[in-house]
A = this chain, B = another copy of it.
Amino acid sequence: MQSVNQWRHVFKLDPAKEIDDDSLEKVCESGTDAIMVGGSTGVTFDNTVRLLSRVRRFAVPCCLEVSQLDAVVPGFDLYLVPVVLNAGSPEWIIGSHVRGLKEYGPFVPWEQVMVEGYVVLNDDSSVAGVTESRHPGGLKDVKAYAQLADRLLKLPIFYMEYSGTYGDPEWVKEVKKTLTDSRLFYGGGIKNAEQAEEMAHYADTVVVGNIIYEDVNQALQTVEGVKSAGTPL
């Protein structure tokens, strides 16, 4: 099992987006703790396997965030399975998982699988569209989801997904204080070292995605930003 508990910074690469070899090398050799492969739309078996084989030229751990059954490629170090806690239909909470297990259950390498309890906090994101998720409401609601993941379901990861927008650091701080065992992942809208550092004060793991495709050099600086935050709250 990959030591997710040591991951402070993660780069998230989308198989449906183009990245040149030079940028990919910089990202993989940046000192980030892991590469997470995943996206909400346009992810296929082919573009996933292509991205994996390119990342595999480097020593960095590489995990797949499973979003579509037909894009589950063998050979990743770890498989992160999102359970979208605020999804609008059972399908994205557990429905698709059950269908997947019905088909592939006997072949799942369970020692390489971890569940992420997701809460989607940006209603305008494509992940919100796909999962029909609804914003939980206020901070109290998000904290209730955090308790559900942490204490009731005992999920290893609670993931605050602001997808494309920068979240509220105060909320991340308060959620972190609520959690006892689950690891807190933060993702969304990080564009520079300062933002990465700010979220890393509270989140155990900071996930940086889109900026890679907009300004790779800015993206690289987020690694240092997270490191300079020290140990989270």
Contacts and interface: CB of A to CB of B under 8 A. Distances in A.
Interface of A: 81, 83, 85, 87-90, 93-94, 97-99, 101-102, 105, 108, 110, 113, 115, 136, 140-141, 143-145, 147-148, 151-155
A63 B87 CA distance: 31
A50 to B, nearest CB: 27
Contact of A90 (B88, B108, B152): B88
A147 to B, nearest CB: 5
A15 to B, nearest CB: 23
Contact of A147 (B101, B147, B152): B101
A4 to B, nearest CB: 15
Contacts of A152: 81, 97, 101, 113, 115
Given A88-B90, A90-B89, A102 B144 contact: yes
Contacts of A145: 98
A209 to B, nearest CB: 25
A133 to B, nearest CB: 10
A68 to B, nearest CB: 17
Nearest to A156: B154
B151 A110 contact: yes
A115 B153 contact: yes
B110 A148 contact: no
Contact of A148 (B97, B144, B154, B155): B97
In the complex, which of the residues A94, A97, A108, A140 has the most CB atoms of chain B within 10 Å of its own CB atom?
A94
